[in-house]
């Protein structure tokens, strides 16, 4: 049976409100058409000019090319064609991109096409989930909010794993919504599998919806309490087993037959998932970043704290409707709990509000390394509570219920905050803040007047006034997100740090594929016969070379270059046995991580390595030969 809640009924008596009468409700056909148009619009926005985005995140693009060259590379999610190291994330999103490349070829737009599909599918699935719980209007508003959230638009035009993660989290919550109205275990099992697949996409980040699933089913499950607890225990086992199965399989493989696990100090996928990308992220671990890299990361995401999502970094990406989300969450929980609504309605609010609260807390308070696109993980829940809460408060206002006064209060507060966010970019959108203030203020004034001088007007005037108020409120609430979502469509996205907003995107830390391609053929020809024709001091820097077509290129020291893998002894063995052709050292960071070791060798044993600049970009190339076993370089 479909889940029902206060959003479709009068919040005090449960009687159907006047605005929800059947003669005013859209027909099923019109609903399907409306939702279809919204999903198609989302796909158009996410895919518009996708060819201009280049290769997206070069780190993951390089991994896709390497993984597609062998089944071993595919299984272990190897970063480089030489199978020296893995990527720093689980492989599911990369597996999807490899499959697309196998069918359509290795092109930038092919890597990004699955993201467009997953992003549009998330919009559709969110509508289905919210409409089952709170009705068509709430579901449509929720889907529209998700579709135009600036950071969601940006991440769906990139090949980071967060787009697939967002889809799987929405799928898990949709399945939970179905489980709340189904006596069987099937849908709850689907939710557990979706969370486990989310962990196979981006580690323990997927587990942020586990508290919401557990709490909602515990409160509103359709079976007796004992069976609810037993089923949730089984769900927990499925999630844990499914999440850890692939990392455990990799760790059980002989180390001589698998690549090094990048990002893990113990060369373990389980350690990477549970500690490096799990506990350490929450505790503020630096994940091998040096002081300069950590300072850059903090500038990009702001100082952790309760107001972080409203700050200059995150505010324009996700903050446009956070105040409305908070008002709607509090109101929905209060109405569903205080007035003893159906347990199903209460469970629905708990499901979405808990997800929103947990995700907001993780993004706001998490220290260490972070990215703005982490905020995309709370966007579906924000859309859901705004959609359901808007319908609830709208009906309560026209039903003259006291809780309805939260509508003008919430709209006014959200208008002020959104206008403040818009003023930060007054140079790019000088009109945005005044438009938000004018339309939001007018909507609030008309709402208040509807309880005063307009209160006795006839039904026809009430409908016109309702259209006017909702239109003004729509402009006030949507102007900011829409303006900032337009930014990614007008300028190429920074592949490793996608974001919405006006103006130029921040410069990428990756070397351009077009820059390295001319030098690649020359270096490979001169390094012919060497196993490692070109080595770079980090996998991040090696990405462009692999995407450009290099098959004997690898990065050392992990993503940041500071991990110390492989060891100095292994590097000396490669050097002395003639396996290394060129070593490229970034002139801007010659003393970072593994580069420090190579720089010492290069500067202190000139007879072994001769330096030359690589034309067109910021590398020195050091030729590792001719070999002289009698003169072994010493590690600093």
Instruction: For residue range 260-317, list pLDDT tens digits in order.
Output: 999 888 889 999 999 887 777 666 555 555 556 566 666 778 888 889 999 888 999 9
Contact at 8 Å (CB) between 369 and 286? yes
DSSP string for 388-409: HHHHHHHHHHHTT-GGGGHHHH
pTM recorded for the entire structure = 0.90
pLDDT score, position 22 = 36
Contact at 8 Å (CB) between 90 and 201? yes
Report the b/e string of 414-453 with b at 16+ CB within 10 A.
Answer: bbebbbebbeebeeebeebbebbbebbbbbbebbeebeee
Over the chain, what is the mean pLDDT?
Answer: 84
pLDDT score, position 198 = 97
Quote the CA–CA distance of 119 and 533 in Å, as a whole number: 39
Checking if the pLDDT of 606 tops 50, the result is no
Quote the CA–CA distance of 86 and 88 in Å, as a whole number: 7
> Is residue 610 very low, low, confident or very high in pLDDT (cuts 50, 70, 90)?
very low
Once rounded to an integer, what is the mean pLDDT over residues 428-454? Answer: 88
What is the per-residue pLDDT across 527-542, written as a single tens digit (0 to 9) for each? 777 888 888 888 888 8
Once rounded to an integer, what is the mean pLDDT over residues 441-463? Answer: 74
Quote the CA–CA distance of 144 and 124 in Å, as a whole number: 10
> Is residue 14 very low, low, confident or very high in pLDDT (cuts 50, 70, 90)?
very low
pLDDT score, position 376 = 94
Once rounded to an integer, what is the mean pLDDT over residues 256-261? Answer: 92
What is the per-residue pLDDT across 352-411, written as a single tens digit (0 to 9) for each? 999 999 999 999 987 766 789 999 999 999 999 999 999 999 999 988 899 999 999 999
Tokens of 518: 């001319």
> Is residue 592 very low, low, confident or very high in pLDDT (cuts 50, 70, 90)?
low
Once rounded to an integer, what is the mean pLDDT over residues 54-83? Answer: 94
What is the per-residue pLDDT across 531-587, written as a single tens digit (0 to 9) for each? 888 888 888 888 888 998 888 888 888 887 777 677 777 877 887 788 888 888 776
Helix runs in 48-107, H state only = 58-67, 71-76, 92-104
**Percent of the residues in the chain that have a pLDDT greater than 70, as a whole number:** 82
- Strands lying side by side in the sheet with 532-536: 553-555, 532-536, 580-586, 619-624, 609-613
pLDDT score, position 354 = 97
> Is residue 111 very low, low, confident or very high in pLDDT (cuts 50, 70, 90)?
very high
């Amino acid at each position: 049976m479909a889940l029902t809640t206060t959003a479709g009924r009068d919040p005090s008596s449960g009687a159907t409100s006047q605005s929800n009468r059947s003669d005013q409700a859209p027909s099923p056909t019109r609903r399907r058409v409306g939702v279809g148009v919204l999903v198609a619009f989302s796909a158009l926005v996410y895919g518009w000019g996708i060819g201009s985005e280049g290769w997206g995140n070069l780190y993951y693009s390089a991994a896709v090319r390497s993984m597609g060259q062998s089944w071993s590379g595919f299984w272990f999610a190897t970063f480089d064609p030489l199978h020296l190291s893995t990527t720093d994330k689980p492989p599911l999103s990369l597996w999807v991109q490899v499959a697309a490349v196998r069918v359509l070829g290795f092109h930038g737009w092919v890597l990004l096409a699955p993201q467009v599909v997953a992003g549009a599918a998330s919009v559709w699935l969110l509508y289905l989930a919210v409409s089952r719980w709170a009705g068509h209007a709430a579901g449509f508003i929720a889907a529209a909010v998700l579709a135009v959230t600036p950071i969601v638009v940006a991440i769906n035009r990139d090949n980071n794993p967060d787009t697939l993660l967002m889809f799987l989290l929405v799928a898990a919550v949709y399945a939970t919504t179905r489980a709340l109205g189904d006596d069987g275990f099937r849908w709850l099992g689907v939710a557990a599998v979706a969370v486990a697949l989310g962990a196979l996409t981006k580690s323990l980040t997927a587990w942020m919806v586990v508290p919401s699933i557990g709490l909602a089913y515990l409160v509103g499950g359709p079976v007796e309490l004992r069976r609810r607890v037993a089923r949730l225990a089984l769900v927990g086992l499925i999630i844990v087993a499914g999440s850890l199965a692939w990392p455990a399989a990799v760790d059980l493989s002989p180390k001589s037959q698998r690549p090094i696990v990048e990002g893990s100090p113990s060369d373990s996928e389980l350690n990477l998932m549970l500690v490096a990308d799990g506990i350490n992220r929450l505790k503020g671990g630096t994940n091998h970043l040096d002081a300069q890299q950590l300072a850059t990361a903090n500038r990009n995401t702001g100082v952790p704290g309760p107001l972080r999502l409203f700050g200059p970094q995150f505010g324009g990406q996700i903050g446009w409707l956070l105040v409305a989300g908070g008002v709607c969450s509090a109101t929905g929980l209060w109405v569903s709990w205080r007035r003893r609504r159906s347990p199903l309605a209460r469970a629905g609010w708990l499901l979405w509000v808990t997800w929103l609260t947990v995700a907001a807390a993780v993004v706001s308070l998490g220290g260490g390394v972070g990215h703005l696109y982490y905020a995309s993980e709370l966007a579906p829940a924000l859309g859901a509570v705004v959609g359901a809460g808007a319908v609830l408060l709208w009906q309560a206002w026209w039903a003259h219920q006291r809780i309805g006064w939260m509508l003008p209060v919430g709209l006014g507060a959200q208008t002020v905050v959104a206008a403040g966010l818009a003023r930060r970019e007054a140079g790019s959108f000088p009109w945005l803040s005044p438009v938000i203030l004018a339309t939001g203020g007018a909507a609030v004034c008309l709402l208040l007047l509807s309880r005063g001088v307009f209160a006795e007007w006839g039904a026809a005037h009430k409908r016109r006034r309702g259209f006017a108020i909702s239109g003004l409120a729509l402009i006030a609430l949507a102007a900011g997100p829409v303006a900032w979502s337009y930014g990614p469509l007008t300028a190429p996205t920074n592949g490793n740090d996608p974001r919405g907003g006006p103006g130029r995107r921040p410069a990428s830390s990756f070397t351009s594929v077009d820059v390295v391609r001319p030098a690649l053929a020359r270096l490979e020809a001169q390094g012919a016969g060497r196993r490692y024709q070109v080595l770079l001091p980090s996998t991040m820097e090696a990405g462009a070379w692999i995407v450009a077509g290099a098959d004997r290129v690898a990065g050392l020291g992990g993503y940041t270059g500071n991990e110390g893998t492989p060891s100095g002894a292994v590097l000396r063995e490669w050097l002395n046995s003639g396996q290394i052709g060129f070593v490229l050292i970034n002139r801007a960071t010659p003393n970072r991580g593994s580069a420090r070791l190579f720089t010492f060798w290069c500067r202190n044993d000139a007879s072994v390595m001769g330096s030359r600049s690589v034309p067109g970009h910021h590398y020195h190339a050091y030729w590792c030969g001719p070999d002289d076993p009698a003169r072994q370089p010493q590690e600093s």
